[in-house]
Amino acid sequence: MRDSLRLIIVLTVVATLSGGILAFTWDRIMPIIESNNAAALAESILEVMPRAVSYEIWTAEASSAADADASASATATADGTSAGTADASSSGTVSADATASGTADADSTATATAAADSTASSTADADATATSTTADTTASSTADADATASSTTSDADSTATATGAAADADATASGTADADATASGTVDGTSGSSLVANVIEIYRGLDANGKTAGVAFVVDANGFGGTIRMIVGLDPAARKLNKVKVLEHSETPGLGARITEPAFLRQFENKSIDDGFVAKQDVDAITGATVSSIAVASTLKAALTEVETELRAGGAW
Amino acid sequence: MQSSINREFLKGLWNEHPTLRLLIGMCPTLAVTTAAINGFGMGLSVIFVLVCSSVLISLLRNFIPNQVRIPCFIMVIATFTTIIDMVLAAYFPALHEVLGLFIPLIVVNCIILGRAEAYASKHSPLYAFIDALGMGLGVTWGLTFIGAIREIMGMGTVFGLPVFPETATSWIIFILPPGAFFTLGIAVGAMNHINYVIERRKRQQVSRPAAAGQAVQG
Amino acid sequence: MGNLALTFIGAVLVNNFVLVRFLGICPFLGVSKQIDTALGMGMATTFVMVLSGAATWLVEHYILVPFGLPFLQTLSYILIIASLVQVVEMFLKKTSPALYSALGIFLPLITTNCAVLGLAIMAAQQNYTFVETIVFALGTGVGFTLALAAMAGIREQMEFADIPKALRGAGITLITAGLMSLAFMGFSGLIAM
């Protein structure tokens, strides 16, 4: 009896010490990781928009809903019961700080679950954007609930991509221009097809005078080995791409992984967005990596269309 | 004293080389050696976890009851593994992304638990340190070597520097999964062959003086 | 449902843990001399994988995430797996001596099998649901068993082959594994993930 008590005490002491040391290290290290990630994202965003000196996260109602509730970011609760990943990001432009991903109001609890984790970047500055946007959301069932809950759907301000059991659900929650910022959500149940672009986030580049100097967006493509996440910079006035950069991918080394090489990506530079983006026609595919090449090209085309529609709806094109 | 320390240190580098002789800790050896620098980074991570956990386990060896030693070892190793995971994520994000899953998996690397169980829990901290360092360096050179071969054959570069002219066709198979098995299999065979040759030389050297002695007697 | 089937086939063939992802290489080289033992090891591992997949999912989603303790992931997972293997061993010993004598000797080896821990971490990274995790674990286990049994079949045939002395044992096994891996590469792209 005394023996087993001793064993338990030893185990508990070792476990507590280990946990304590780890908690301590985590506290020290986590801010560094977060700031590194934010800095890397900011750098990529500016890299693909050569003329911009700063940027802001673009939200549709930034132009209309200047009075969106600032407490919105507080409603974003990460919720663990979940099935898919949701990247819900909310953001504000200079005019509307902390525009709301979810929403402030009690009547829109459904939306709040969809927008699990929101990046409220109230300061629209390049460096100060906090980005931590992976969280969980209850799967498509909850997303459905949002759809019914929504009364007025005007603008999208938070895009949550829930990879649920059945399909990718784009839960687009949005706040309207109402004074009390009633939120609503729409759900697009999309199939997993690579032709449907998963635009994660749109950024508006600003030049020194605060004028629009380009648009950048992050988009996911379904590659050969998994998701290819790219950031794309474009010049809306000239209707041309500036630059494409691959952020993450899991393509085969030596074959599909060559989509990250300048030789492949350079052909998208200064390419008109009205081109077809068909691999092997106006885009040169990589030998032995046709699937990856097609995934990149067709996703770019679909995403460009989607982004243009969205920007035009928000009056920012 | 000095010579035994030397011996403990050197055994990990050749005679008891963990990956090429004892064939333990193979998973990271195969998975992360697509380039020399990745193998090197993995090797350094292993050295960190191996040395820290060996020394700590050696220090604690009289306090940990025998019945619960394995869970205690695992907790110590897991702690250091998580620390190196976080440190890499913060300061070397590119390397962290390449090594990915295989950093947390250091915790189940047979080398580390094996050294803790077979050596560190029975020897003083100094010897545990020397043993862990030798084994860790053995892993590091093994991983870097295999990574270098695969990188040279598969990409035509080593540590990112080109070794072949632009026109040379690289054999992509070497950086794909099958290439890992081929390279490691041939490396293990080569290591065995070198040891056979050394043994044969030794035997000849032993038998030759004996023969000379007989000739004098005759 | 279709998604689950894809997860399963993906884990068995496309991303075979042993031949494509290099997880669980130690038992793959060590316990693949005879088909019988290979099957036993494979089944024991599959069993532990499913159990530990379920257990780690519960811990991840009811303890680690709600309390914000992601840094305890590795530590808690490996402790869960180790104690689970202990419990399974004791349970089998008591209830089913026949099964115990078949699988018993492999159980302690499973704790340090990186495929089991790798599976748990991967399921957490991919944010699988509970059911998906179970299916993924089952597929991984089947894939592991498949690779192990196929290897054992080849090695039984190789017994009588004339292999250069230096390559005997591990060397030729690794090269054979390379050829098998080459064959499994044919499955890549089978499922657009």
Is A224's CB within 8 Å of C189's CB? yes
The model carries a pTM of 0.75
Q: How far is A209 from chain B (nearest CA, A)?
A: 34
CB atoms within 10 A of CB A300: 24
Q: Which residue has the tokens 């890499």?
A: B88
The pLDDT, as a whole number, for residue A258 is 85
What separation, in Å, do the N-terminal and C-terminal C-alpha atoms of chain A show? 76
CB contact A84 to C (< 8 Å): yes
Average confidence (pLDDT) over A138-156: 32
- Identify which of C62, C75, C188 has the shortest CB distance to residue A22: C75
The residue in chain A having the minimum alpha-carbon distance to the alpha carbon of residue B153 is A254
**Predicted complex ipTM:** 0.89
Number of domains in chain A: 1
Assess if residue A280 is contained within a domain.
yes
pLDDT of A136 > 50? The answer is: no
Residue A28 token pair: 């020290």
The pLDDT, as a whole number, for residue A284 is 85
Residues of chain B with pLDDT under 50: 217-218
A116, A78 contact by CB (below 8 A) = yes
Which of A198 and A242 is assigned the larger pLDDT? A242
The residue in chain B having the minimum alpha-carbon distance to the alpha carbon of residue C181 is B178
Distance CA A61, CA A152 (A): 13
CB contact A292 to C (< 8 Å): no
pLDDT of C130 > 90? The answer is: yes
Q: Residues with Cβ < 8 Å from C120, sequence gap 6 or more? A: C52, C53, C56, C77, C80, C81
Is A139's CB within 8 Å of C127's CB? no
Assess if residue A150 is contained within a domain.
no
The least confident of A114-128, A246-260, C164-178 is: A114-128
Average confidence (pLDDT) over A173-184: 32
Spans of all domains in chain C: 7-185
The least confident of A236-240, B80-84, C152-156 is: A236-240
Range of the domain at A229: 198-313
Banded model confidence at residue A154, pLDDT cuts 50, 70, 90: very low
Is B30's CB within 8 Å of C114's CB? no
CB atoms within 10 A of CB B116: 26
The pLDDT, as a whole number, for residue B127 is 92
Distance CA A117, CA A173 (A): 13
C185, B177 contact by CB (below 8 A) = yes
Distance CA C2, CA B210 (A): 76
Burial of A261 (0-12, 13-18, 19+ CB in 10 A): exposed
Number of domains in chain B: 1
**Degrees, nearest 5: CA angle C29-C35-C39:** 85
pLDDT digits (tens, 9 = 90+) for A24-82: 999 999 999 999 888 888 888 888 887 777 787 876 544 333 333 333 333 333 333 33
Contacting chains of A (3 CB pairs or more, <8 Å) are B, C
What separation, in Å, do the N-terminal and C-terminal C-alpha atoms of chain B show? 42
Distance CA A310, CA A289 (A): 31
Q: How far is A214 from chain C (nearest CA, A)?
A: 32
Residue A192 token pair: 């997993």
Which of A126 and A216 is assigned the larger pLDDT? A216
CB atoms within 10 A of CB B212: 10
Q: Which chain B residues are within 8 Å of C121, Cβ to Cβ? A: 101, 104-105
The pLDDT, as a whole number, for residue A132 is 32
Helix extents (H) in chain B: 2-11, 26-31, 36-60, 69-91, 93-99, 110-115, 125-155, 177-217
Give the containing element (helix H, strand E) for C112. none
Q: Which of B48, B52, B68 to mutate to test the interface with A (most CBs of A within 10 A)?
A: B68
The pLDDT, as a whole number, for residue A212 is 77
Residue A225 token pair: 């080995």
Average confidence (pLDDT) over C128-142: 94
Banded model confidence at residue C177, pLDDT cuts 50, 70, 90: very high
Is C178's CB within 8 Å of B74's CB? no
Contacting chains of B (3 CB pairs or more, <8 Å) are A, C
The pLDDT, as a whole number, for residue C178 is 94
Q: Which chain C residues are within 8 Å of B18, Cβ to Cβ? A: none
Q: Which of A21, A25, A229 to mutate to test the interface with B (most CBs of B within 10 A)?
A: A25
- Identify which of B65, B76, B154 has the shortest CB distance to residue A254: B154
Assess if residue A228 is contained within a domain.
yes
Banded model confidence at residue C96, pLDDT cuts 50, 70, 90: confident
Range of the domain at B13: 2-217
Q: Residues with Cβ < 8 Å from C91, sequence gap 6 or more? A: none
CB contact C164 to A (< 8 Å): no
pLDDT digits (tens, 9 = 90+) for C16-66: 889 988 898 888 888 888 888 888 889 889 999 999 999 999 999 999 999
Please tell me what DSSP assigns to residue A272. B
Q: How far is B25 from chain A (nearest CA, A)?
A: 23
Please tell me what DSSP assigns to residue C72. G
Give the containing element (helix H, strand E) for B106. none
pLDDT of C152 > 80? The answer is: yes
The residue in chain B having the minimum alpha-carbon distance to the alpha carbon of residue A26 is B86
A208, A277 contact by CB (below 8 A) = no
CB contact C3 to A (< 8 Å): yes
Distance CA C110, CA C46 (A): 10
C46, C108 contact by CB (below 8 A) = no
Banded model confidence at residue C192, pLDDT cuts 50, 70, 90: low
Q: How far is B68 from chain A (nearest CA, A)?
A: 7
Average confidence (pLDDT) over C137-162: 92
Q: Which residue has the tokens 């590194």?
A: A36
- Identify which of C75, C118, C166 has the shortest CB distance to residue B189: C166
Residue C13 token pair: 């063939």
pLDDT digits (tens, 9 = 90+) for C167-176: 888 889 999 9
Q: Residues with Cβ < 8 Å from B17, sequence gap 6 or more? A: B138, B142, B191
B-proximal residues of C, 133-162, CB under 8 Å: none
Sign of CA dihedral B1, B3, B8, B9: positive
Q: Residues with Cβ < 8 Å from A258, sequence gap 6 or more? A: A264, A286, A289
DSSP C131-151: HHHHHHHHHHHHHHHHHHHHH
Is C71's CB within 8 Å of A22's CB? yes
Quick one: angle between helices C73-95 and B69-91, nearest 10? 150
Q: Which chain A residues are within 8 Å of B83, Cβ to Cβ? A: 21-22, 25
Distance CA B66, CA B63 (A): 9
Residue A169 token pair: 């659900």
Q: Which chain A residues are within 8 Å of C65, Cβ to Cβ? A: 78, 80, 136
Is C127's CB within 8 Å of A222's CB? no
The pLDDT, as a whole number, for residue A239 is 83
Banded model confidence at residue C7, pLDDT cuts 50, 70, 90: confident
Helix (H/G/I), strand (E/B), else coil: A172: strand
Assess if residue A282 is contained within a domain.
yes
The pLDDT, as a whole number, for residue A118 is 35
- Identify which of A18, A165, A226 has the shortest CB distance to residue C193: A226
A219, A234 contact by CB (below 8 A) = no
Average confidence (pLDDT) over A296-306: 85
pLDDT digits (tens, 9 = 90+) for A67-115: 333 333 333 333 333 333 333 333 333 223 333 333 333 333 333 333 3
Numbered residues of chain B with Cβ closer than 8 Å to any chain A Cβ? 34, 63-65, 67-68, 71-72, 75-76, 78-79, 82-83, 86-87, 89-91, 93, 97, 154-155, 170, 172, 175-176
pLDDT of C184 > 60? The answer is: yes
- Identify which of A84, A226, A227 has the shortest CB distance to residue C127: A84
